[in-house]
Structure 1
Amino acid sequence: MALSLPPELWLLVFLHLDSLSLAACACLSSSFLPLAHARLFAHVSLLPRRRPPATALASVFPDACTKLLHLLSTSPSLAHHIKRLSIIDGTLFPSLARRDQLNGAPWFLKTSPHVLHTLFQKLNLHSLDLVFPDGPKVSWNLIPQDIRCSLLASSPHLHSLSLHNLSFDTPSTLISTLSHSSITHLTLHNIKLYPDLLTDYCPEKNQTWSRHAKSFPHDPPQSLSLTHTLQTLCISSDPLHQDPDTLHLLSSLFAHSSTRTVIRSEFA
């Protein structure tokens, strides 16, 4: 079926279609495939699979990253349509007290590093969301280093990054993580940032001890490579997860940059 209207008009039509209608159009005509796929795969969310019943054996189904990698391996043309990727780890409904089939199990950190590295090498993202469940913060260092590099460095056009419920051992860790990327918009939600340890020496007693740095009044970490590109920093938290120390450290870290900082408190 040939397109009877200019592609620009069809694009306007497709912008107002829901997912089911887009899928139907993709099946209707091969001429519609590029427009439909561009809309259907522009934002992909990888969710935890439903928790199996308590009586079931250990689940052997592939995780979301493995399934997406398989899809892109069989249909490579889909990869360039994916502009935003949201990785949602842990429970789908953390407010539910009972852990039933509606709640998923944590999966991202259990995914094969080879799968993750191969997947991100295939993508050229503009936006990435990495969301971990409420509760104890997941340390950024738990993610293998090569995977962290793949997350940020494999997509040269990645300009928006959103991190939820993560902790960074030091401000320097956060800076070094982002310094080699092209991030212009950074969102940190329920983030724990631990201060750097400063070493003090007392010559009279010949003793050395460590203390936490509360700010960077004289020599902040090497952040120039980041602050030259970062335009907006959004710091948000749930009311029950507000962390004044982390807020103070982040504010001090970006105090001498031109980055526009937005701080807000919100409900999950």
Structure 2
Amino acid sequence: MLNDLTSSSLFLPLGLFIALAVALVLLVWNMVAELTHRRLKSRPLNTYQRTRRKAKAGDPKACMACAEMLEKGTGGAPDKPHLIHYYLNRAFTIWYGMARQGDGYAALKLAEICNFGHTYPKFSKYADRAYRAALAVNEANAAAGDINGCAYAGYQYRYGLGCATDYDTAAMYLERAADMGHAASMKLLADLYLNGLKPRPDPVTAARLVRQAALIGDPEALERVGDNHLDNTGEVASRELAYCWYALAARKGRRQAMRKLETLEQDWTPKQLRDIQDRLATFVPA
């Protein structure tokens, strides 16, 4: 009897100790799992994940971007090539409906999907047919006085999308779009003048067109005006003016302009930098 009591008295604390140890292990396990879950939830989304959200909401541009990231393995995209066709099909369906309503941009994007996997200037036979259909839509819209129709028709003639490359016809459409205030057309037309694809190189006219797009607020054009001042390409050579235009572009999120600002700042003394920043405070683009 005494032995039985002694044995029971020994096993009781041991059992309690084991129970408490198990409970403590379970508690720690749950805490670790909760912290891991919270960390995973709070981890910032990568480029692919952010774009995928937009794609799921029905944004065709985001669908195309997801397909490109999946193809190239960029932006944190997973190794799931079968998803490429899923996103391309989603984008195609959305743009097809828009193209049937006479949207020239959507018609161009359909052709781009048909040419997915090919690099310009190579085209699949389906893409060439789709680009010709897009050109018919854009020329019809241009004839009706639509600014985007003029811009996209000019773009297609510039690069020979669905037609033979024709710089004169491209310039005609781009000039019409530029006159109506289309910033991208101003920049593309400026490239024609700058590169001599018009009768002869004309950097002054090219710079005027880029400045015109910049005054509308186009970020890339703002940066290009700075480049023109820095390189004396159709603009007065001035590092200070280049700095001011780069600053305007940087405020609109142009990272390249930010880097150019930093490069200029490295060549100036602290006093020179203060002086140019004072000038920037009152700088009015014109």
Q: Same fold (TM over 0.5)?
A: no
More helix by percentage: 2
TM-score after normalising by structure 1: 0.31
TM-score after normalising by structure 2: 0.30
Which is higher, the Rg of structure 1 or of structure 2? 2
Greater RCO structure (CA 8 Å; 6+ sep): 1
More strand by percentage: 1
